[in-house]
């Protein structure tokens, strides 16, 4: 299956605002794997690893993923336009699921 993404959204996702909105949190720091060429060319554009405060005011690393509608979902009638949010989730992590780095050692680089 071909994954076609809304080009504007891809650029937006390198920023924090959309992730804060989708996950209703305040991002303190983003983690970008060392292998990534630039923040505008994320290897995995539909996921983010970030440090955010939880409701107990404790800062924790999160892995968040969002599923955006592509051409297929639009033609199936599941979404009205490409880039529409189909679903999203976030979970607490300690290691980056992509590069395996211990995220808690990155915290003080803020
Ligand atoms: Zn990483």
Instruction: Please report whether residue 15 resides in a domain.
Output: yes
CA of 66 to the centre of ligand 1 (A): 17
Instruction: Please report whether residue 22 resides in a domain.
Output: yes
CA of 24 to the centre of ligand 1 (A): 22
pLDDT number for residue 71:
85
pLDDT number for residue 55:
75
Rounded to whole angstroms, the Cα distance separating 110 from 97 reads 21
The structure tokens listed for 100 are 């395996």
Instruction: Please report whether residue 20 resides in a domain.
Output: yes
CA of 110 to the centre of ligand 1 (A): 16
67: nearest Cα among 49, 45, 52? 45
Whether residue 4 contacts residue 71, with contact meaning beta carbons closer than 8 Å, is answered with: yes
pLDDT number for residue 68:
83
Task: Give every residue of the chain whose pLDDT is below 50, as ranges.
Answer: 1, 109-110
Domain range holding 48? Answer: 7-109
Backbone torsions φ then ψ of 34, nearest 5 degrees: -60, -30
CA of 96 to the centre of ligand 1 (A): 5
Instruction: Please report whether residue 94 resides in a domain.
Output: yes
Whether residue 71 contacts residue 77, with contact meaning beta carbons closer than 8 Å, is answered with: no
pLDDT number for residue 9:
66
The total domain count for the chain is: 1
Instruction: Please report whether residue 83 resides in a domain.
Output: yes
pLDDT number for residue 56:
81
Instruction: Please report whether residue 2 resides in a domain.
Output: no
pTM: 0.76
pLDDT number for residue 5:
58
Rounded to whole angstroms, the Cα distance separating 13 from 31 reads 13
pLDDT number for residue 44:
59
Instruction: Please report whether residue 34 resides in a domain.
Output: yes
Instruction: Please report whether residue 1 resides in a domain.
Output: no
């Amino acid at each position: 299956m071909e994954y076609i993404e809304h080009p504007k959204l891809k650029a937006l996702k390198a920023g924090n605002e959309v992730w804060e909105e989708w996950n209703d949190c305040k991002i303190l720091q983003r983690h970008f794997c060392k292998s990534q060429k630039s923040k505008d060319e994320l290897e995995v554009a539909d996921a983010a690893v970030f440090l955010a405060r939880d409701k107990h005011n404790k800062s924790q690393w999160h892995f968040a993923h969002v599923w955006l509608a592509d051409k297929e979902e639009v033609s199936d009638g599941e979404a009205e336009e490409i880039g529409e949010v189909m679903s999203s989730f976030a979970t607490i992590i300690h290691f980056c699921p992509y590069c395996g780095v211990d995220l808690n050692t990155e915290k003080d680089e803020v």
